[in-house]
Amino acid sequence: MAEVGAHLTAAPAGGDRPSVFEAVAQDSLMAAVKPALQHLVKVLAESNPGRYGFLWRWFDEIYVLLDLLLQQHYLARCSASFSENFYSLKRIPMGEGRQQPLATAGLPKRQHWKSLLLLVLVPYLKGKLEKLVSSLREEDEYSIHPPSSSWKRFYRAFLAAYPYVNMTWEGWFLIQQLCYILGKAEHHSPMLKLAGVRLVRLTAEDIQALEKKWAETTSSQTHSFTSRVQSALRRALGGIAFSLSTGLSVSVFFLQFLDWWYSSENQETIKSLTALPTPPPPVHLEHEPSSALLPSLKTVCPLCRKVRVNATALATSGFVFCYRCVYSYVKAHQRCPVTGYATELQHLVKLYSPES
C-alpha cells in the first residue's frame, strides 16, 4: 500500500499520456539519489577507511545490485520502475489499444527483462565509461607513457572522440523529448522505445488493484513446508525491496537537501556557519599494518626510503613522497600510504623548492 500511498490520485480526464514534466521529473529522481548516497558513503570512508573503505571502492557495484533488486520488485508488482511508480505512472507494451492491462498484470517477459536491463545496466556502464575517461585524462596530463607509444596514441584518439560520442548520445535524448513535446513521438526517452513499452498514468482501477494485491500478499496463508519456505523467501526479498523503496520514498527529499547543502554555491555559507579551529595534523599510527613507517630524515620518501625525487605532497594528509612512488601507490590503493585517508590522483600536489 505504501507503494501507492504517496500518489493515490487518478489520471486526469485529459488522457493517460503523462506530461513531459512528469516524464522528466521521474528520470531525474534516481539521478539525484545516487550522488547524495555517494557523498554519504564518502564521508563514512574518510572517517573510518579501515571499516568503510570497501563501501567507497565498490560503491558502483553495491549500488547497481540494490538498484537491480528495487527495480525488479517494482516492475514485477507495479509494471513500473521505482521513480515511475512514485509519479503514478506505469509501463504498457507498445501497440496496446484503449483496453490497457492493469498495473498488477505485469509486463510480458520480453519487455520486463529489457526494461530491467535498460534501467539498471545502461546507467552503470555509462558511469563506468565516464570514470574511465576521467582516469585516462589524468594519465594523459601526467604524461607517464612515452610520447610515441601506441597505447598513448590510442587513448588520446579515444579521448578526442568521446565528447562527440557523448554529445550524440545526449542529443538523441533531447531530440526524443522535443518530439514528445510536439506530439510526434510516444516516448520521451529512447530507452523506453528500445524496451518496447510506453508510459501512461495510473488509473483508479490500477490503484485499487495494487491495494488489493498488497492486501492479499500480506494475508495469504500457506500450509506445506516447501510452500512456506518459498513464501518466506519471497517475503524476505519483497521485504528488502519494500524497505529500500520505503526508505527511498521517505529520504529522497532529505538526500536532495544534502546534495544542495554540499553544492559549490553554498560552500561559502557553510564555511561561515560551521567555522571551527583548524584540526591538528593526523597522528601516525605505527601499529596499523597499512601505514608506512615515517623516516627520521625529512628529505627521505616514506615509500622507497631514498632521498625524494620530484617531491609531491598529498593534499589529503600533507605528507611528501617521490612523485613516481606516490602516483603508483595512490593509483593502486586510492588512499594515503601513511594515514590511510581516502585519496585520488587529483590530490597530488607538485612541490617546487627555491633552488629549482
The DSSP 8-state label assigned to residue 341 in this structure reads: -
What are the phi and psi torsion angles at 339 (to 5°)? -95, -20
Single-letter amino acid code for the residue at 159: L
Weakest-pLDDT range from 6-10, 82-86, 296-300: 6-10
Q: What is the pLDDT of residues 120-163, one digit of tens each?
A: 999 999 988 888 888 777 766 665 455 556 766 777 787 888 88
Banded pLDDT at 327 (limits 50, 70, 90): very high
Residue 205 contacts by C-beta under 8 Å, 6 or more apart in sequence? 102
Interatomic CA distance for residues 166 and 164, integer angstroms: 5
pLDDT for res 161: 86
Phi, psi of 342 (to 5 degrees): -60, 130
Q: Quote the pLDDT of residue 13.
A: 38
Flag whether pLDDT at 33 surpasses 80.
no
The per-residue pLDDT for 272 is: 59
What is the DSSP-derived secondary structure letter of residue 206? Answer: H
**Is the distance from CB of 302 to CB of 293 less than 8 angstroms?**
yes
Residue 247 — very low, low, confident or very high, per pLDDT cuts 50/70/90?
low
What confidence score (pLDDT) does residue 218 get?
55
CB atoms within 10 A of CB 76: 15
Residue 317 pLDDT greater than 60, yes or no: yes
Least confident of 9-18, 76-85, 189-198, 211-220: 9-18
Task: Tell me what pLDDT residue 330 has.
Answer: 92
Classify strands 348-350 and 197-201 as parallel, antiparallel or unpaired. Answer: unpaired
> How do the residues of the chain divide into helix, strand and coil, expressed in percent and rounded to 5?
60, 5, 30
C-alpha cell at 53: 573503505
pLDDT of 60 strictly over 80: yes
User: At residue 165, what is the residue type?
Assistant: V
Q: Is the pLDDT of residue 231 over 80?
A: no
Which one has a higher pLDDT value, 135 or 97?
135
Least confident range of 55-59, 287-291, 299-303:
287-291
pLDDT of residue 95: 75
Q: Does pLDDT of 181 surpass 50?
A: yes
- β-bridge mates for residue 89, sequence order: 201
Write down the pLDDT at residue 283: 55
Specify the higher pLDDT residue, 9 or 331: 331
**Which residues in 154-179 are b (16+ Cβ under 10 Å) and which e?**
ebeeeeeebeeeeeeeeeeeeebbee
Q: What is the pLDDT of residues 191-223, one digit of tens each?
A: 998 988 988 888 888 888 877 776 666 555 444
Mean pLDDT, the chain, rounded, equals 76
Average pLDDT over residues 59-86: 88
Question: What is the rounded CA–CA span in Å between residue 172 and residue 108?
Answer: 27
Work out whether strand 197-201 and strand 311-314 pair parallel, antiparallel, or are unpaired. Answer: unpaired
Ranking 4-8, 165-169, 300-304 by mean pLDDT, the lowest is 4-8
Cell numbers found for residue 260: 544542495
335-356 tens-digit pLDDT: 888 888 888 888 899 888 766 5
Q: From residue 158, how far is each of 42, 149, 151 by CA, in Å?
A: 30, 15, 10
**pLDDT of 65:** 92
User: What is residue 325's predicted lDDT score, i.e. its pLDDT?
Assistant: 92
Tell me the average pLDDT across 24-30: 82
Element counts in the chain: helices (H) and strands (E): 12, 5
- Alpha carbons within 13 angstroms on the beta-carbon side of residue 218 total 9
Q: Which helix (H) or strand (E) element contains residue 92?
A: strand 89-93
Q: 349 by DSSP, 3-state: which?
A: strand
Mean pLDDT confidence for 7-35:
69
How confident is the model at residue 2, as a pLDDT?
40
Backbone angles phi, psi at 300, to 5 degrees: -100, 140
Nearest residue to 8 via CA among 87, 76, 104, 90: 87
**Does residue 230 surpass a pLDDT of 50?**
yes
Cα gap 32→253, rounded to integer Å: 9
CATH code for the part of the protein at 296-355: 3.30.40.10
Q: How far apart are CA 262 and CA 11, in angstroms?
A: 37
Backbone angles phi, psi at 341, to 5 degrees: -65, 145
Q: What is the pLDDT of residue 15?
A: 60
Q: What pLDDT was estimated at residue 285?
A: 47
Report the DSSP beta bridge partners of residue 349: 313
Q: Where are the domains of the chain?
A: 15-211, 296-355
Q: DSSP assignment, residue 96?
A: -
